[in-house]
A and B are shown apart, each in its own frame.
Chain A
Amino acid sequence: MSTVFNPADVQGNILRGYHKPRMRHLMLEVTDRAAARRWLAASTSGGDGVPQITTEEPWETKPETCFNIGLTFEGLRALGTPDASLATFPPEFVEGMNARALKLGDAGPSAPENWPAPFNDPKRVHLIASIYADEIAQLDRLQHQALPDGKGLRPLGAREGWCFDGDYVHFGYRDNISQPRFKEIHDSESYSDSQPMAPLGTVLLGYPTNFEGLTWRVPQPEALGHNGTFNAFRVLEQDVVGFEAYLDKAATELLEHPDVDDLLPPGAEANIHLEPGDSLSRHAALREVIAANMCGRWRNGVPLALSPDATDPSPDVSKTNFDYDGSSRCPYGSHIRRCNPRGGQIVQRVANNSRRLVRRGMPYGPAYDPAKSRGLKKDEPERGLLGNFIGANLGAQFEAMSCDWLNLGLQDPRVTGSNDPLLGANEPETSWFDLPLKSGAAIRLRGLPRFVRTRGGAYTFLPSLSAIRFLGSLTN
């Protein structure tokens, strides 16, 4: 196992984000094996008119567009990967995301049976090509360049993402704040973070992992597997109308709650702002308190763990350098704490920092405008997040976090039996979420509906450049 890291061999969208405002994912089916292989071979060098795959090589000037690919198991099989090779891929990847629905909480409205095309026919989704650009015209140009005639690869569908407001996503939170940091990568925006540096094997196959002593099986042959990684691509529809309506309802109920002054002392609404210098009513402030507790960060990204009472603390606090200890006022069940408990106390003590993921996501759909909206779910256009959750082992990282931490809440007995308030498979009859009070007691919110519905997805393998060349040179 080589541990010398060669950035030119790794696709560029894994270890860093491009920070491009527009992105398009194209779901492709292999129709002509030989033509598809030629296309792959050409993509590594940019010959034959096929766009060149962007690598992890540092750049002096940011290119106009970036281009990357991912392959599903069916895609690897359609390209003629030898059976002996296919047998070395992990079982959850082989089964595909549709078959793992119960593990991921994709039941009821999120069930794969309800997914729209092309995700309802997973055997045909072979390759996901991702284009990143600044403008739609550039996306179109690159798509046309990549697939001029559909020979060899047939487009089944596309999903387009757009950063409508910088780093803000639907639901109004600022996203993309904290990612695992790697020793091998000099990130131009390096920031201080109390979490240990992540070993490269958190993400890439063929390196020491973040589980002591464990190594993941690198798909064979070495050229195919080394420097590759796995991605859980998810189309997550967000019910913004429902979310804002729930915040209204919960804030109204809280105003009458006997302990509300412990949660938000009278006058403390002055510390809570949506825009600089604004002044919120008690009801509006409570809405922000609830939203912050559900996420773990105020909507502007300031972490509750460092600033539980003010959206704009002074002096400024770090957005990334914090941890959870016994006195932390960040709820045990809040979204960011469930997905990444950092060094906080969890039941599975050995698992701290072991299920970290690189998250590259972009919103899709138009921004929600409360002035224009009539507040009816059925009149709203679909909007949400196109998420890429990247890790070296789907089972140990993405799936493990989804089934035991996001839903079920096994990591802390005080939240066991409840689901993530933002993302979880919530049923209003049984859902609950505790807001911690300074006194140590809690106010329990009930009746949270499901805010996020899965509308498609796939497990993809993000091959290294050597792997793409290997696949391009298959001759069977």
Chain B
Amino acid sequence: MPSNAGWLDRFVDGLPETRFFQFVAAHILVPYWAWRTPVKLLPGGPPPSVQPGDNVQRMMNLVMPLKDKSPVGRAKAALAIAQNKDEIYAGLDNVGTVHFARFVIVDNNICMFSVYDGDFTNYIRDFIVTIGSVFDAVVSLVDGGDDVIPSEDNVEKFIEWVHAHDMYQVPDLATGILRDQEALNGDTAAPGNDDLRLLPRQLILQLNVNNNVSLGSGYRAYPGYSAAQVRQQFGSGW
């Protein structure tokens, strides 16, 4: 604090941490700016790319809210996974492009986090072929899931639905989110009159629309290799 700071300066500096300001921000400022400068929903999943390193070890972060938001509902979801362990393993082994996958229950959401290679739609489609019944069992417990099951008869709709529940991946570097928003608006030119100080607001408004996000593209200890390459190199058979 500079020595010439008066009581008002000190008060204002401490303002953002106060409950009062946080209430005002959440209930008045954010809705106002969301109305005044709306942002569009950014799509989920990793950004498309033609470079090979970007097409292996891609992250999927799926968050699906349960219909039954009680311990009974959560137990049903847990059972749906536990009872289908063979199916899930056979599916993952035979799709061949998944490095890691896990189902997680967080609050009243059944989530699936996985690391996979190649195109998202191919991965989900090959899954529907092998474990469509497991998908049906799980998605029937999810809000809005009834519209897209049985998955085998609604392949395109199911893939789009999964894509919509996959989290947007905030770019690794802070200014990347501005570029993503500009691209969505079709604004690819370099206009020359941005305001970098609006970055916090743009981030807040985006998180107001994309509730759940993945921060960054994730850390990889051995980037650049597909699951099959790793298995082949270590002699586990692919």
Interface residues of A, Cβ cutoff 8 Å to B: 90-91, 102-103, 105, 107, 211-217, 346-351, 354, 393, 395-396, 399-400, 403-404, 407-408, 410, 412-414, 416-417, 425
| Interface pair B154/A217, CB less than 8 Å apart | yes
Contact status A215-B152, CB under 8 Å: yes
CB distance B55 to A414 under 8 Å? no
| Given A214-B152, A217-B154, A413-B238: A348 touches B48 (CB 8 Å cut-off) | no
- State the Cβ distance, A89 to closest chain B Cβ, in Å: 9
Within 8 A of A (CB), among B107-157: 117-119, 121-122, 125-126, 128-130, 132, 152-157
In chain B, residues 69-98, which have Cβ atoms closer than 8 Å to a Cβ of chain A?
Answer: 93-97
A350 B156 Cβ-Cβ under 8 A: no
Nearest residue in A to B117 (C-beta to C-beta)?
A410
Residues in A with CB closer than 8 Å to B229 are 413, 416
- Cβ 8 A contact of B97, one of A105, A213, A410: A410
B50, CB-defined interface residue at 8 Å: yes
Task: Determine the distance from Cα of A412 to Cα of B128 in the docked complex, in whole angstroms.
Answer: 22
B206 at the interface (CB under 8 A from A): no
6 cross-chain pairs, A with B, having the tightest CB-CB distances, nearest first: A347-B96, A413-B229, A413-B228, A413-B232, A102-B48, A347-B228
- Tell me the bound Cα distance from A396 to B224 in angstroms: 25
Q: How far is the CB of A398 from chain B (nearest CB, A)?
A: 12
Residues of A within 8 A of B232 (CB): 413-414
CB pair B132 A213 closer than 8 Å:
yes
Question: Assuming A350-B95, A408-B118, is B155 touching A214 (CB within 8 A)?
Answer: yes
Q: Which residues of B contact A (CB under 8 A)?
A: 48-50, 52, 55-56, 93-97, 117-119, 121-122, 125-126, 128-130, 132, 152-157, 159-160, 224-229, 231-233, 238
A213, B152: Cβ atoms closer than 8 Å: yes
Task: Decide: A211 near B129, CB < 8 A? Known: A216-B155, A348-B97, A408-B52.
Answer: yes
A347: chain B residues within 8 A (beta carbon): 96-97, 226-228, 238
Jot down 28 A-B pairs with beta carbons below 8 A, ordered by A.
Answer: A90-B156, A91-B160, A107-B50, A213-B129, A213-B152, A214-B125, A214-B132, A217-B154, A217-B157, A347-B226, A347-B238, A348-B95, A349-B93, A393-B155, A396-B155, A399-B119, A403-B55, A403-B118, A403-B119, A403-B122, A407-B50, A408-B55, A410-B55, A410-B56, A410-B118, A413-B229, A413-B232, A413-B233
Query: Which of A212, A215, A217, A400 is in CB contact (< 8 Å) with B121?
Result: A400
A-side contacts of B49, CB under 8 Å: 102
- B226's nearest neighbour on chain A, judged by CB, is A416
Across the interface, which residues of B come within 8 angstroms of A350, CB to CB?
A: 94-95, 126, 129-130
A383–B227 Cα distance when bound, in Å, is 39
Q: Are B50 and A214 in contact (CB under 8 A)?
A: no
Nearest A residue to B55 via CB reads A408
Query: Smallest CB-CB separation from B50: which chain A residue?
Result: A107
Kindly list chain B residues whose C-beta atoms are within 8 Å of the C-beta of A407: 50
**Please, which residue of chain A has its CB at the minimum distance from the CB of B151?**
A214
In the assembled complex, the Cα of A346 lies from the Cα of B155 at a distance in Å of 23
Q: Is the CB of A412 within 8 A of B228?
A: yes
Contacts A351-B122, A403-B118, A408-B118 known; 8 new A-B pairs at CB < 8 A: A105-B50, A214-B155, A347-B238, A410-B228, A413-B226, A413-B238, A414-B232, A416-B226
Q: How far is the CB of A114 from chain B (nearest CB, A)?
A: 15
B contact residues around A348 at 8 Å (CB): 94-97, 122, 126
A431 CA to B145 CA in the complex, in Å?
Answer: 44
Indicate if the CB atoms of A410 and B226 lie closer than 8 Å. yes
**B48 touching A216, Cβ below 8 Å:** no
B2 CB, min distance to chain A CBs, angstroms: 51
Question: Complex formed: what's the CA distance from A214 to B152 in Å?
Answer: 5
Flag if B52 contacts A417 (CB, 8 Å): yes
